[in-house]
Amino acid sequence: MNVYVLLKQTFDTEEKIVLRDGRVSEDGVKFVMNPYDEYAVEEAIRIKEAEGGQVVVVSVGPERTGEALRTALAMGADEAVLVTDDRIPSDEYAVSRVLAAVFEDQSYDLLIGGNFSVDNGAGQVAVRVAEQLGIPHVSSVTKLTVSGGSAAVERDAEGDLEKLEVRLPALFTAQQGLNEPRYPSLPGIMKAKKKPFRLLTLDDLKLNPDDLAAKTDRTDLFLPPPRQAGQLLQGDPAAQAAALVEKLRTVSKII
Report yes or no: 67 and 102 within 8 Å, Cβ to Cβ. Answer: no
pTM: 0.87
- In this predicted structure, the answer to whether residue 226 has a pLDDT above a threshold of 90 is no
Same domain, residue pair 59 and 112: yes
Same domain, residue pair 206 and 130: yes
Range of the domain at 191: 2-212
Same domain, residue pair 252 and 188: no
Residue 218 in domain: no
For residue 207, count other CB atoms closer than 10 A to its CB. 21
Residue 219 in domain: no
Q: Which CATH number does the domain housing residue 197 bear?
A: 3.40.50.620
For residue 157, count other CB atoms closer than 10 A to its CB. 10
Cα dihedral sign, 31-202-131-150:
negative
The residues, ordered by sequence, that sit 6+ positions from 178 with a Cβ below 8 Å of its Cβ are: 39, 42, 43, 141, 142, 143, 144
Largest CA distance in the chain: 73
- In this predicted structure, the answer to whether residue 33 has a pLDDT above a threshold of 90 is yes
Residue 48 in domain: yes
Same domain, residue pair 149 and 245: no
SS3 249: helix
Our separate counts of H helices and E strands in the chain read 6, 13
Strand 9-11 relative to strand 31-33, pairing: antiparallel
Residue 98 in domain: yes
Same domain, residue pair 56 and 150: yes
SS3 230: coil
Mean pLDDT of 57-74: 96
Same domain, residue pair 168 and 235: no
Structural domain tally of the chain?
2
Same domain, residue pair 141 and 97: yes
Instruction: Give the separation between CA 199 and CA 197, rounded to whole angstroms.
Output: 7
Report yes or no: 73 and 22 within 8 Å, Cβ to Cβ. Answer: no
Considering only residues 43 and 216, tell me which one the structure prediction assigns the higher pLDDT. Answer: 43
What pLDDT is attached to residue 220?
86
**Pick from 75-84, 178-187, 227-236: least confident:** 227-236
Same domain, residue pair 169 and 238: no
SS3 157: strand
What pLDDT is attached to residue 251?
84
Same domain, residue pair 185 and 239: no
176: phi then psi, degrees, rounded to nearest 5: -55, 135
For residue 31, count other CB atoms closer than 10 A to its CB. 18
Tens of pLDDT along 146-205? Answer: 998 999 999 998 878 999 999 999 999 999 999 999 999 999 999 999 999 999 999 999
Same domain, residue pair 136 and 231: no
Same domain, residue pair 146 and 231: no
Residue 37 in domain: yes
Same domain, residue pair 194 and 235: no
Residue 221 in domain: no
